[in-house]
Amino acid sequence: MSSRLVPALMRRARLLVALVILVMPSALPHDTDPTWSWPLDPRPEVVRAYEAPPHAYAAGHRGIDLAGKAGAPVRSVDDGVVAFAGAVAGVEAVSVDHDGVRSTYLPVAASVRQGSPVVRGQVLGSLLIAGGHCFPAVCLHLGRRHGAPYADPEELLAGTARIRLVPPSGPPPVPPPVATAAPGASLAAPVEAPVSSPYGMRVHPVTGLLKLHDGTDFAAPCGTPVRASADGRVVAVTYDPAYGQRVVVDHGGGLATSYNHLEKASVRSGATVRAGASLGAVGSTGMSTGCHLHFMVVVAGAPVDPMLFL
């Protein structure tokens, strides 16, 4: 082969490689959409916004609640891998990892398995009623995490993404004190029994997870009558996988009480009750380790320490 032919062949080979690179799909990653798609279709109403806790173990609303319908398909907000699909403290949930950012969905009956890759808009499961934050209404709780800290999902959702001048997991404005939220509210103890577990962060005795204990436990024997703490209207008599048989009473002014793990209920939804009226009997239904009453006080939709009112 002549010395002139070799350089010519080399130039032709380089040209061919360049042409192949131009026409083949790029191996480099494409720019990704920085926003999330909505997990429910059509775009749902945000019925409760994100409320960052003042510190890691304080109460807060670590996500957003989206109005929905029971059985509605719940879709992944972005491409990722299913990190979890199952029950947490009796509530069915799905979690998807998106390269270090994690989205969580509950209550959802999963149709995907842990470790499965998913794409944006893919159905993860169907929306449930039991275990929802808006019960008896139906809503999807959507969460967002960067490692350990929680962040506001609305910052990434299409059509709502916005710039913040503070870290997304930083503290929100200080809420008003309970006395301001429910002026003059005073409640009677629902049972005469010692407190066995107070309101606050604890390791759940059934799941072993560190989570907020959203009420006060009274160590009363099964069958002990449970009485309304104040005048009000019964707004729910239902069974929840975690709370068991429960009765919820609305006292007006944004104040409600919930009586959980009951053996049985003796009232119906819609009934008007007076303070001291029988609501049911102490039991050990739902996620319970023994006979007791789990008593909750809810102000403006958020659980607070019942002992502030008793």
pLDDT tens-digit series, residues 88-127:
767 899 999 998 889 999 999 999 999 999 999 999 999 9
Residue 191 CA to residue 220 CA, distance in Å, equals 7
Task: Indicate if 288 and 209 belong to the same structural domain.
Answer: yes
Task: Indicate if 277 and 213 belong to the same structural domain.
Answer: yes
* Element holding 88 (H helix, E strand): strand 80-88
- Render pLDDT for 46-97 as a digit per residue (tens, 0 to 9): 998 888 765 554 556 788 999 999 999 999 999 999 999 998 767 899 999 9
Task: Indicate if 97 and 187 belong to the same structural domain.
Answer: no
pLDDT level of residue 299 (50, 70, 90 thresholds):
confident
Q: Which of 155, 190, 206 is the last residue of a domain?
A: 155
Task: Indicate if 140 and 198 belong to the same structural domain.
Answer: no
Residue 16: strand, helix, or coil: helix
Q: What pairing do the DSSP bridges indicate for beta strands 244-252 and 278-282?
A: unpaired
Joined together, the tokens standing for residue 204 give 């759940």
Among 192-206, 232-246, 273-287, name the one with the lowest average pLDDT: 192-206
Q: Is there a contact between 293 and 282 (Cβ–Cβ < 8 Å)?
A: yes
Is residue 7, in this structure, part of any structural domain at all?
no
Provide the greatest CA pair distance for the chain. Answer: 108
Using the predicted structure, report yes or no on whether residue 181 has a pLDDT greater than 60: no
Kindly compute the dihedral angle of the four CA atoms of residues 50, 55, 56, 60, in this order, to the nearest 10 degrees.
Answer: -30
pLDDT level of residue 134 (50, 70, 90 thresholds):
confident
pLDDT at 174: 39
Any alpha helices (H) in the chain, and if so which ranges?
A: 5-23, 178-181
Number of domains in the chain: 2
Task: Indicate if 240 and 135 belong to the same structural domain.
Answer: no
- Beta carbons within 10 angstroms of residue 141's beta carbon: 23
Joined together, the tokens standing for residue 178 give 């309970």
Task: Indicate if 184 and 294 belong to the same structural domain.
Answer: yes
Show the domain range for 148: 46-155
Task: Indicate if 226 and 125 belong to the same structural domain.
Answer: no
Q: What is the mean pLDDT of residues 260-274?
A: 96
Q: Is there a contact between 115 and 129 (Cβ–Cβ < 8 Å)?
A: no
Task: Indicate if 300 and 209 belong to the same structural domain.
Answer: yes
Task: Indicate if 304 and 214 belong to the same structural domain.
Answer: yes
Task: Indicate if 90 and 146 belong to the same structural domain.
Answer: yes
Q: Is there a contact between 196 and 217 (Cβ–Cβ < 8 Å)?
A: yes
Task: Indicate if 198 and 148 belong to the same structural domain.
Answer: no
Using the predicted structure, report yes or no on whether residue 32 has a pLDDT greater than 70: no
CATH number at residue 134: 2.70.70.10
Task: Indicate if 57 and 118 belong to the same structural domain.
Answer: yes
